[in-house]
């Protein structure tokens, strides 16, 4: 990269400083997220705001790369804007900030509906009986296929932030299926213990289901009790939106998520503002 830049400088006779400014300008033109838009979408994630400056810059770079590698399309008449694409890219890149964009290499498109969308599901139970269901969903991750999202759900999160993050939830499913079925068991790093992960997640999941209903405020979205895959997806979104809740309720699981995502949102969010 260095040599062509130098030769360009010689040909045009520009000073080194002038060339740097020109390269910066060119880069910013190719940058899918303008400074103004970046500041705006950063406000949709407390955790992203709490990252230090170098990490925020890395997040922006990965988000830009995601915008170039994934296609975005609107369904049911929705016109997808740059702001929508950028907002989704920022949230999608939070879980892989320290993992890399390659973790999303097996899928390529994001479909956005204006609101909830209807799907027809068919599955066979353990007795061989086929069930057909019609469901209204706000998000869906098809294995190796598109990620489907409701824009209304994302707008709701931005207007009234809480522990929900639809994009992170669906991205957690994408990570989960990298090594097979959606079962709350993503491909762990070599320095992680598979048996400890399975044991601690199963214990937490069983305890959550057993105590659900007994507590006035379960602290975690009850949807986590659906199955182990949803437990992992809900805890992942809570890990990045309200990490103290995961740490207080399931400290062992928090540590596993911390090691898997290679991030510590509790520490970042509790850091005092400079
Ligand atoms: Zn889910």
Query: Each residue's pLDDT tens digit in the chain (274 positions)?
Result: 333 333 233 233 344 455 555 555 444 444 679 999 999 999 999 999 999 999 999 999 999 999 999 999 999 999 999 999 999 999 999 999 999 999 999 999 999 999 999 999 888 888 999 999 999 999 999 888 999 999 999 999 999 999 999 999 999 999 999 999 999 999 999 999 999 999 999 999 999 999 998 887 888 999 999 999 999 999 999 999 999 999 999 999 999 999 999 999 999 999 754 4
The answer as to whether 7 is a domain residue is no
The pLDDT, as a whole number, for residue 124 is: 87
Kindly state whether residue 16 falls inside one of the protein's structural domains. Answer: no
- State the CATH number of the domain containing residue 153: 3.40.390.10
State the distance from the centre of ligand 1 to the C-alpha of 227, rounded, in angstroms.
Answer: 9
Report if residue 14 sits inside a domain. no
Ligand 1 geometric centre to CA of 262 (Å): 22
102 in a structural domain: yes
pLDDT of residue 214: 84
Query: Is residue 67 assigned to a domain?
Result: yes
Rounded to whole angstroms, how far apart are CA atoms 115 and 148?
Answer: 11
Assigned domain for 12 exists: no
Half-sphere exposure of 74 (CA within 13 A, CB side): 13
Rounded to whole angstroms, the Cα distance separating 221 from 234 reads 7
Domain region containing 45: 31-270
Query: Residue 167 C-alpha to ligand 1 middle, in angstroms?
Result: 10
Tell me if residue 136 falls in helix, strand or coil. strand
Per-residue pLDDT, 160: 92
Q: For residue 33, is it left (φ>0), alpha (ψ between -120 and 50) or beta?
A: beta
CA 32 – ligand 1 centroid, Å: 29
DSSP secondary structure string, 63-114? HHHHHHHSEEEE-TTPPPPHHHHHHHHHHHHSTTTTT-GGGGTT--EEEEES
Instruction: Please give the distance, rounded to the nearest whole angstrom, from the Cα atom of residue 177 to the centre of ligand 1.
Output: 12
Are the CB atoms for 69 and 101 separated by under 8 Å? yes
- Per-residue burial over 168-182, b if 16 or more Cβ lie within 10 Å, else e, is bbbbbbbbbbeeeeb
- The confidence score (pLDDT) of residue 121 equals 85
How do residues 29-72 score in pLDDT, each as one tens digit?
A: 446 799 999 999 999 999 999 999 999 999 999 999 999 999 99
Tell me if 26 is assigned to some domain. no
Looking at residue 31, its pLDDT comes to: 61
Number of structural domains the chain divides into: 1
pLDDT at 6: 30
Please state, in angstroms and as integers, the Cα–Cα distance from residue 132 to each residue in 54, 117, 124, 182, 226, following that order: 49, 17, 9, 20, 18
State in Å: Cα 138 to ligand 1 middle: 10
How far apart are the CA of 140 and the centre of ligand 1, in A?
Answer: 7
User: What was the pLDDT predicted at 53?
Assistant: 97
Within a domain: 232: yes
């Amino acid at each position: 990269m260095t040599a062509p830049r130098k030769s360009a400088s010689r040909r045009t006779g520009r000073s080194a400083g002038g060339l740097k400014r020109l390269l910066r300008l060119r880069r910013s033109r190719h940058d899918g997220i303008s400074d103004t838009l970046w500041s705006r979408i950063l406000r949709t994630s407390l955790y992203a705001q709490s990252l230090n400056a170098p990490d925020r810059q890395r997040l922006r770079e990965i988000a830009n790369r995601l915008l170039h590698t994934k296609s975005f399309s609107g369904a049911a008449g929705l016109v997808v804007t740059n702001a929508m694409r950028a907002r989704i890219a920022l949230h999608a890149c939070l879980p892989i900030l320290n993992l890399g964009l390659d973790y999303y290499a097996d899928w390529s498109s994001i479909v956005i509906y204006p609101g909830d969308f209807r799907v027809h599901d068919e599955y066979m139970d353990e007795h061989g009986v086929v069930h057909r269901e019609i469901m209204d969903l706000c998000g869906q991750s098809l294995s190796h296929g598109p990620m489907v999202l409701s824009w209304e759900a994302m707008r709701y999160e931005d207007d009234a932030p809480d522990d929900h993050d639809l994009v992170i939830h669906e991205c957690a499913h994408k990570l989960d299926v990298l090594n097979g079925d959606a079962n709350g068991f993503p491909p762990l790093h070599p320095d992680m213990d598979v048996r400890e992960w399975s044991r601690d997640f199963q214990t937490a999941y069983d305890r959550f289901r057993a105590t659900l209903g007994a507590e006035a405020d379960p602290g975690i979205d009850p949807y986590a009790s659906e199955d182990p895959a949803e437990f992992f997806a809900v805890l992942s979104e809570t890990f990045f939106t309200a990490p103290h809740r995961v740490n207080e309720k399931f400290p062992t699981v928090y540590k596993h998520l911390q090691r898997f995502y290679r991030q510590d949102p509790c520490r970042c969010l509790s850091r005092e503002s400079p």
